[in-house]
Structure 1
Amino acid sequence: MLTLHTSSDCTMVTAPPRAARGYFANVLAGIRDGGAMHARYAALARMSNTDLARRGLTRAEIMRAVVAGE
């Protein structure tokens, strides 16, 4: 369980070591997933409308495809 400690000049989050590892592992996994989504979006956004159509996509569908992992 994470515990939030606040004072007038500082905010600190504490957690038991095992919980902290799990929390930070999830944060890092989220960052990694976000980077992969950004790379997919950039690759699709660079494609022409014809290339997107070959993949069965329109420009308006790029974000849906990125989030779905297509």
Structure 2
Amino acid sequence: MSMRVELDEPKCVASGQCVMAAPEVFDQREEDGVAIVLDDGPAPELHDGVREAAAICPAAAIHLVER
């Protein structure tokens, strides 16, 4: 199964929860803390962490497309 990670930057509230759940896939910009996607097509072994990041995002700014 493949996964594509999409981030709705304007919705991001810079809580950092995604970085804690999946640091290989998410980071935060230094200037404002808004999340950035480091890998929009993560390896299967990272999928659980990415799903957790999407589930705990307080702004619901992370969207996953799984095939």
**TM-score range normalised by the length of the shorter chain:** under 0.3
| Structure number having the greater strand percentage | 2
Q: Which structure has greater helix proportion?
A: 1
With CA pairs under 8 Å and 6+ residues apart, which has the higher RCO, 1 or 2? 2
